[in-house]
Structure 1
Amino acid sequence: MAFSDAIFAIIITLLVLDLRVPDVPPGRLLSGLLNQWPSYVAYLASYSYVAVVWLNHKAAFNRIQQVDRGLHWVNLFVLFSTALLPFPTIVVSDALQEHNNTDQRVAVAFYALIGALLCATWLAFYHYLARNPDLLKEQVKDGFFRVERVRALTGVVLYVLAGMVGYLVAPLIGLAIFLVLPIFYAITSAGLYQLRVTRRITHRPPPPR
């Protein structure tokens, strides 16, 4: 866990390196800062995504009792795909600031490809835990990680959809989907199974008096 947390910290640090002081003449600092809005949007999307990945990572390992070689490998794949995020973030930021529609479409599609790859590695991670329940703590419900695979597969589908919409229709629509997806994963960070249980308890009628 300490190794994984260190990787997440480095990734977040790399994201902020794309935020630079604009190279503008004296007296034009405000307009220069405002013109860099794509950098801020791309940073927000990727920072939110990394933060949610970290939350999901912590939630998953809180349910794991022991780790074997296979789990180490799938965890490394998750970290590998997460570490790629700073690159497409810079690509999207630069493309939006250059105002070239073709490059913007390619950049959004590229970001979507990396996002889909990250969700695919989470799918492998959850699938491995679903197939190896002996690695989990005793109090973890049967089928918890089988249900979690739905979350990961949803991410794959939605990132592919965002990439197609961003490339074929409008890059900004794809970018908007990138901003919404971390919200979904933040809400469900405790797991779809846990969310379903919480809703059932919330809507349970009060006992008769």
Structure 2
Amino acid sequence: MGGEKKATAERLAAYSDAVFAVIVTIMVLELEAPDRPSFSALVPLWPTAISYAVSYLFIAVIWINHHHLMRFAGEPTLGLIWTNFIHLFLVSLLPFATSWIARTGLASAPMVFYAGLFVCIDIAYNVFEYRVLARADHLAERPRRIARRRSLAVLAIFVSAACVATVAPRVGFGLICGGLILHLRPEAGR
């Protein structure tokens, strides 16, 4: 029975890994090369390059933290599986949001949508994290508290980014980048 439980958690992780890989592939397929054969033709593509880089970093951060949390998952409950599916669904919208902000040069409405998507993804991640850590009996209280505080701080930054993006989209984009820095290294379990 123990091997079956492990296999179920591993299947959930493997499925999630596959979805993340598809999302990154879709994002890179959205990149279009310039028609002119000069480096100066790349300059107008800066919104595309920076939005792709930040979105790719976000997916990397999500994957690293997801991978880290799955070590504590144990046998996934139906609630955890559905939370994971909701999280992955929201992440799957990232290529669309990335393309929109890139094509509009980080305009306000697309930036609000992009930041709002980060908020929704982070809420789903927080629920996922809570469900996993609530069942991780062998994890000390301090790492749980650190993970929880960090997750709430990042969520607050993303909410701020969505609000700020209504009047200053590039500042909102900068706040998103700052929020990602807090998630670069998983802390739970250390």
TM-score range, shorter chain: 0.7 to 0.9
Shift, 1:19, TM fit: 1.6
Return the index of the structure with the highest Cα Rg: 1
Quick one: which amino acid aligns to residue 163 of structure 1? Answer: A
Would the alpha carbon gap of residues 81 and 149 (structure 1) be closer, same or farther in structure 2, given more than 3 Å must change? farther
Contact 1:126/1:146, CA 8 A, preserved across alignment: no
Q: Which residues of structure 2 form unaligned runs of 5+?
A: 1-12
Contact 2:161/2:171, CA 8 A, preserved across alignment: yes
Shift, 1:143, TM fit: 6.7
- Say what the alpha-carbon RMSD is for the aligned residues: 2.0
Shift, 1:181, TM fit: 2.1
> Residue 161 of structure 1 corresponds to which residue in structure 2?
160
Quick one: which amino acid aligns to residue 18 of structure 2? Answer: A
Hey, what's the Cα distance between the residues in 1 that align with 2:76 and 2:145?
18
Hey, what's the Cα distance between the residues in 2 that align with 1:181 and 1:15?
21
Question: TM-score, normalised to structure 2's length?
Answer: 0.84
Quick one: which amino acid aligns to residue 5 of structure 1? Answer: D
Shift, 1:20, TM fit: 0.9
Contact 1:130/1:144, CA 8 A, preserved across alignment: no
Shift, 1:178, TM fit: 2.1
Contact 1:130/1:143, CA 8 A, preserved across alignment: no
Q: Identity of aligned pairs, percent?
A: 29
Aligned residue among 11, 14, 35 for 1:23: 35
> Residue 190 of structure 1 corresponds to which residue in structure 2?
187
Q: Deviations over 1:15-35 (max 9, x none)?
A: 1122211234xx6x3222111
Indicate the SS of the match to 1:23: coil
Matched, 1:5 2:3: no
Q: Which residues of structure 1 form unaligned runs of 5+?
A: 97-102, 195-209
User: 5 Å matches for 1:65-84?
Assistant: 65-84=74-93
Question: TM-score, normalised to structure 1's length?
Answer: 0.77
Q: Deviations over 1:22-59 (max 9, x none)?
A: 234xx6x3222111011000001100000000000011
Quick one: which amino acid aligns to residue 67 of structure 1? Answer: P
Paired residues, what number? Answer: 178
Shift, 1:72, TM fit: 0.8
Hey, what's the Cα distance between the residues in 1 that align with 2:159 and 2:79?
27
Q: Deviations over 1:107-162 (max 9, x none)?
A: 1111010000001001211232344x2xx3x5322475465333332222111111
